[in-house]
Amino acid sequence: MAKPVVLVVMDGVGWTEKDMGNAVKHAYKPQIEELMTKWPHTTIKASGTAVGLPSDSDMGNSEVGHNALGCGQIYSQGAKLVNESIESGKIYESSAWKGAVSFAKEHGGKMHFIGLLSDGNVHSNISHLIAMIKEAKKEGIREVRVHALMDGRDVPETSGLQYVEQLEAVFKELNDGDFHGCIASGGGRMTVTMDRYEADWSMVEKGWHIHVMGDGRMFGSATEAIETLRKEGGYTDQYLPGFVIGENGVPAGTIDDGDSVILYNFRGDRAVEISKAFDYMNKGFDKFEMPKKPNVFYAGMLQYDGDLKLPDNFLVEPPHIEHTMSEFLVNKGVRSFACSETQKFGHVTYFWNGNRSEKFSDELEDWVEVPSDIIPFDLKPWMKATEVTDLMVEAIESGKYQFLRCNYPNGDMVGHTGNYEATIIGVESVDLNLRRVMDACRKMDYTLIVTADHGNSDEMYDKGTNPDGSPKPKTSHSLAVVPFAIYNGPEGTEVKEGDFGLANVAATVVQLLGYEKPEEWLEAIIK
């Protein structure tokens, strides 16, 4: 009964009944509708604990999603991964941490920490910051400066002072004749530094002036800054204007030549742009003018963008993933094919294979990349879906492969633009091409699995409206479950009832191929 399997990942296509801004629901998608009504189907989790993130309020992403799809297991990601690295001390053995410490010591420089000051555990955790400050002193760093971004979004909206007090108490305990640490600057997360998806580079520019140059309104302490700005403008924490801490017009801690800088946020979306500013400042960076470009050692808590390899230095390695599906299939002699366009090619290869750049077998694994156009995705929302489909159909009809996979990036990449109308076209482009893949699978009698790696295009509007009354675009991922359907499966294929996630897909694939799953994997979604 077993036969070859094709797996299609519709990137960023969540499945929800929410109506407002749901480009998936309102797209014309007869193929997806057929799959989710006439064939064995269900929905599966693609965020939170189902993909190794700390809580179910944490949105999934393509990297952790493809890790889970490709290995059949749930590995710690994000905050959970950082917690484990700090508790074990492994973080301090990383080349990035050692590089930051040695660079500052060799140049007589300061060590700076930039990040969200709270215990919201969505972007950061103050406990991570405190642990690293203590370790920095232990390793001989003499000057530490914190550039504290106020939260008020993942924690109560005016709770910032309690975190300032907590941090200042730590400095009071640590400061002595050999060490001095303090808060040097700050501002609200929605005002400075933490922009995402290049929505407003001026936020990062403001952060550069505040943190790097000490160019901003000066206060004697962070407490004074927060209390004064709240009183003057009625701001909640996330909207506080940027501020500098100093005395007699002298900033407490600008970022200068010979300093080390660590961004201690672990979530990537609001860490990418400031990381680009530091990593690319001398490599043709043109998003804003930089009156000051200090020679520093910069590191992120994690690598925030696996495709861009950004930043160059990061403290916590991705999880060490073992027992991947690719390795299992190679050991069984199964020949496989992987394809996507540039935007997601790394996800069906590197992340799929457990953060491994190399193939397990050059003989049995074929990878084909379709170069993405260098153009805003909402201007060409069909992207390279047709070209990817051409390759998939050719590979299926060749009869050479027992397992084939591809990723259509449209729902995610166009979704990130915030353009609702273009995203509908992106989803429809994927659906249109699915017909050709379905027909090829029926012709060759292959089983087809269609799913997604996380939500995005299903939630294109944020809360609130623009000044003109129009909906406010939402460019981030969503917490939606994702579709899962099996087309042209072996006779009697039936989806089980249960609480399944992306990590259950691997066992489903190998069961359809006629193999028993490794004991390390989660169970299959089918009976």
Architecture per CATH, domain 79-300, reads as: 3-Layer(aba) Sandwich (3.40)
pTM of the model: 0.76
Note the pLDDT of residue 104. 98
C-alpha span between 221 and 148 (Å, rounded): 12
Give 455's DSSP letter.
Answer: B
Per-residue pLDDT, 197: 64
Cα-based torsion angle of the residue sequence 418, 424, 426, 428 in order, rounded to the nearest 10 degrees? 170
- What mean pLDDT do residues 400-423 have? 95
- Per 3-state DSSP, the chain is made up of helix, strand and coil in percentages (nearest 5) of 35, 20, 45
Q: Residue 14: pLDDT above 90?
A: yes
In CATH, the number for domain 5-76+321-513 is 3.40.720.10
Grade residue 268 by pLDDT with cuts at 50, 70 and 90. confident
Distance CA 297, CA 342 (A): 30
Q: What are 429-471's pLDDT values in tens digits?
A: 999 999 999 999 999 999 999 999 999 999 999 877 777 888 8
CA 429/CA 10 separation, integer angstroms: 11
Would you say residue 306 has pLDDT above 80?
Answer: no
Helix (H, G, I), strand (E, B) or coil at 111: strand
Average pLDDT over residues 97-124: 95
Distance CA 54, CA 478 (A): 16
The reply to whether domains 5-76+321-513 and 79-300 share a CATH topology is no
Structure tokens at 523: 């169970």
Portion of the chain with pLDDT greater than 70, in percent: 99
- CB–CB of 485/39 below 8 Å? yes
Name the 3-class secondary structure at 365. Answer: strand
> Which contiguous run of DSSP H or E holds residue 358?
none
Question: Which one of the listed residues 47, 62, 326, 478 is annotated catalytic?
Answer: 62
Query: What per-residue string of b and e applies to 252-286 under the rule 16 or more CB within 10 Å gives b?
Result: bbbbbebbbbbbbbbbbbbbbbbbbbbbebeeeee
Q: According to the model, what pLDDT value does residue 389 have? A: 98
Residues of the chain above pLDDT 90, percent: 85
Tell me the pLDDT of the chain averaged across its residues. Answer: 95
Report the alpha-carbon distance of residue 267 to residue 248 in Å, rounded: 36
pLDDT digits (tens, 9 = 90+) for 129-141: 999 999 999 999 9
Contact 473, 487 (CB under 8 A): no
Per mean pLDDT, which range of 114-128, 131-145, 483-497 is the poorest? 114-128
How large is the average pLDDT for residues 271-278?
A: 96
Q: Can you tell me the distance from the alpha carbon of 465 to that of 471, in angstroms, rounded to the nearest whole number?
A: 5
Distance (Å) of CA 350 to CA 122, 268, 322, 324, 353:
25, 18, 13, 11, 5
Q: 57 catalytic, yes or no?
A: no
What is the pLDDT at residue 479?
95
Is a pLDDT exceeding 60 seen at residue 307?
no
Distances (CA, A) of 500 to 26, 35, 227, 504: 26, 18, 47, 6
**Distant-in-sequence, close-in-space partners of 344: CB < 8 Å, separation ≥ 6:** 11, 62, 407, 409, 412, 413
Bridge partners (DSSP) of residue 43 are 483
Domain borders along the chain are: 5-76+321-513, 79-300
Tokens 């519709």 sit on residue? 10
